[in-house]
Chains A and B, each alone.
Chain A
């Protein structure tokens, strides 16, 4: 398994993805968050069509109050992953609506730790 990991600050995420992303070659998998206590580690996963076990991962960190940049300008189908992130981590993602999964009476931001 080949993993090409790029670590960037949060404000450069969109520019980094824009540099390499081409819908004809790259397949966007998902954006994933992991709670590290006080901050969230974000990973954007990409893979290439037709290549074996190859991943490109863009990694960044965000605090609970940071505004996460959206990549729906580049990848229109990313909205659903971003909304999920906003919902389950209670993060402030640009342009995301709350309530994809959670109801007002469910606990808010369930995937945060502690």
Chain B
């Protein structure tokens, strides 16, 4: 039995794009204890939403909780507000929101997949994945006007319409993207060395997923049938051909495969949206003041996002509560590390696709 050695991982680390800190106690190569510190990026957005900003502005503030799933945060807040105030959103606006949210999911999943490949030491695949991700970024820029922080959805509808010229370009790019996504799926599924590295590493079993309330792709990779898109009607997912992707196994390999398959499903949904986009208004005015409480669940790229808002007939809301997917996945990560080899840690952390600026807010 070796002596215990403390190994810090983060807050600044080459494998991490964002600051999270794990302190591992290791005996030889095995981890025996772990501490986690997620508070490096705590800014106090919940407080500011309930004191500084008016209810029409909060949607743009919560988008800055996270740049990767900006549309999900706005959607969560906006859906809660619309349900609270009884606003009927036009059909076209709902479909446009759905389109952006799926494109956002594609770019986020591709980022996560590429990053896992980089951490596994496969820089070539990382570069390839990011190259194809640029296609999605170009599409998002055409559609919304910005690459990352779109501010696309607003209370009552969306801020920008889809013009026929843009639609034509979108179709061209989507066709290329579909080809590339199929190729990527093939690589992530069948590459020999990647499978050797990832299969059976960092396994979350179905029981564990249920007990620890895991959400998002890690849960679906473990065989737990949970997807908010199927459990909560915030957008018309059923009409555009949504399928739940569930795999058995729960290791890093399955997590990435779930992401790859969801990218394909999202592309299919995008085709269906572009084909059957209804005509009409994109925005209705929102009048009055919010009163009462409302909570919604949204499927962000990383999993279930929960919004709780409460107002009392004032311009400024009383409480905005954001429960983000990574926040729900931190406990299972902590559980998972005990008994694992230290060498597997970076790949496992990244395969959960942690978003710390979401977690700390």
Contact = CB atoms under 8 A, between A and B. Distances in A.
Do any beta carbons of A and B sit within 8 angstroms of each other in the complex? yes
A12 B323 CA distance: 25
Given A49-B226, A111-B46, A30 B332 contact: no
A34 B340 CA distance: 39
Q: Is the interface of B mostly helix, strand, loop or mixed?
A: mixed
A80 B330 contact: yes
A76 B211 CA distance: 7
A53 B233 contact: yes
A101 B360 contact: yes
A21 to B, nearest CB: 11
A109 to B, nearest CB: 11
B53 interface: no
Task: Assign chain A's interface to a size class.
Answer: 20 to 34
Nearest to B47: A110
A60 interface: no
A47 interface: yes
A8 interface: no
A23 B211 contact: yes
B42 A27 contact: no
Given A76-B331, A79-B331, A34 B323 contact: no
Given A52-B232, A101-B42, A101-B360, A34 B310 contact: yes
A10 interface: no
A110 B45 CA distance: 11
B39 A27 contact: no
Given A23-B210, A45-B306, A52-B231, A34 B319 contact: yes
Contacts of A77: 211-213, 328, 331-332
A100 B331 CA distance: 13
A28 B39 contact: no
Contacts of A102: 39, 42
Contacts of A6: none
A88 B43 CA distance: 12
Interface residues of B, number: 36
A50 B231 contact: yes
Contact of A29 (B44, B46, B319, B323): B323
B297 A47 contact: yes
A29 B233 contact: no
A95 interface: no
B295 A51 contact: no
A50 B225 contact: yes
A32 interface: yes
Given A77-B212, A80-B330, A52 B233 contact: yes
A15 interface: no
Interface in B279-327: 295, 297, 304, 306, 308, 310, 318-319, 321, 323, 327
A53 B331 contact: no
Contact of A32 (B39, B211, B321, B327): B321
A50 B226 CA distance: 7
B38 interface: yes
Interface string A61-98: 00000000000000111011100000010000000000
Contacts of B233: 52-53
A76 B210 CA distance: 11
A99 interface: yes
Given A47-B231, A77-B331, A27 B360 contact: no
Interface string B220-242: 00001110001111000000000
14 contacts: A24-B210, A28-B213, A32-B308, A32-B321, A34-B318, A43-B308, A45-B306, A49-B226, A50-B225, A77-B211, A77-B212, A77-B213, A100-B38, A101-B42
Interface of B: 38-39, 42, 44, 46-47, 50, 83, 210-213, 224-226, 230-233, 295, 297, 304, 306, 308, 310, 318-319, 321, 323, 327-328, 330-332, 335, 360
